[in-house]
Amino acid sequence: MITKKVIIIGAFGQIGTELTPALAKILGEKNIVALSHSKINQDFSAIIEKGDVLQPKIIVEIIKKHQIDTIINLASYLSVKSEADPQGAWQVNLIGLKNVLDIAKDYQLKVFWPSSIAVFGPTTPKIQTPQDTIIEPTTMYGLTKRAGELLCQYYYLKYGVDVRSVRYPGLLDYKTPPSMGTTEYAKWIFYHAIEKGYYLCPLRNDTVLPMMYMEDAIRSTIKIIMTEKEKIKIRTSYNLAAFSFSPDDLAQEIKKFLPHFKIEYQIDENIQKIADTWPSSIDDHQAKIDWGHEVNFDFHKTVKILFENIKKKLAQNK
């Protein structure tokens, strides 16, 4: 089935803020329904409806009202928030996904749902983590994402639901504020460096994590949503990768723009504990072969873009 009209659940989050307008450019604004549970604070190029992933009846009404053919479910607690509120994470990340899959089964809809490299745990090989490997997450975020992947595969095998998914690394953007994730330090650091010339980092200096610039993530997300069904060989979730760095690497790169920038370290045990269970780098060759995942932004280009645009944003807010 060709995607013509989508509903984006969680359209005002980190991914939705860029995916929604990108899809509006391709499909037309009148073919994008942005669903949000919170106050709507963006002049969005989309039809805006109120609701959330835990209100399946409201979602069904909207699906029918707008003749939706594809559900993009971005609603999710990230890793740090999931450890602080495991019950909430289970509800939104997993019960919410099952609500979406049940609706897709009943109304023959296509689904896109984001997983994360957080599915990998301490027993997973950390370097160039393979697509198929030991997957034993020890965080609530990771286990909701792994369980979600298996639920997606189940709905595909049992009911033929055409659900596609990718395992995002840490995503870096300048359009949304940093939030409660383990990789979010890599956004906070820019705001602190530009405003104070100093950043107190919650992760150990040598903690290498996989990351990606948002524009690459959005391009590949649209690619996997639009790709013909036959090319999707993996119905749990595809590994996605771009580059990896440590807080030390990032601080050195920022110093190219701010020579006097100073970083110090005050380890937050809760965040470090999560990061220590994740891989340092990811093998994403299957996504490249099956549906053409590609990366246009490396570490250096990404740091330059974030530095210049966050500096501009902070200057405008003064």
Active site residues: 141
Please state the separation of Cα 99 from the chain's center in Å.
Answer: 19
Of 52-60, 112-120, 226-234, 300-308: span binding ligand VAH (CB under 6 A):
112-120
Binding mask 124-143 for ligand VAH (x = CB under 6 A): -----------------x--
| Contact status: 78 vs ligand VAH (CB under 6 A) | yes
Taken in order 129, 119, 271, 240, the sign of the CA dihedral is positive
Closer residue to ligand VAH (CB): 27 or 240: 240
- Count of residues that bind ligand VAH according to CB under 6 A: 13
With CA atoms as reference, report the closest residue to 111 among 144, 170, 63, 78: 63
Candidates 79, 124, 239, 277: give the one binding ligand VAH (CB under 6 A).
79
Q: Which range, of 15-23, 110-118, 199-207, 233-241, touches ligand VAH by CB under 6 A?
A: 110-118
Q: Is 239 in the site for ligand VAH (CB under 6 A)?
A: no
Residue nearest to ligand VAH (CB): 181
Beta strands 110-116; 47-50: pairing state: unpaired
Of the candidates 169, 202, 247, 279, which one interacts with ligand VAH according to CB under 6 A?
A: 169
User: How far is residue 317 from each of residues 39, 197, 237, measured CA to CA in Å?
Assistant: 21, 18, 39
Q: 266-276 b/e with 16+ CB inside 10 Å = b?
A: eebeebeebbe
As to burial, measured by CB atoms within 10 angstroms (0-12 exposed, 13-18 middle, 19+ buried), residue 258 is middle
Residues in contact with ligand VAH by the rule CB under 6 A: 78-79, 116-118, 141, 168-170, 181-184
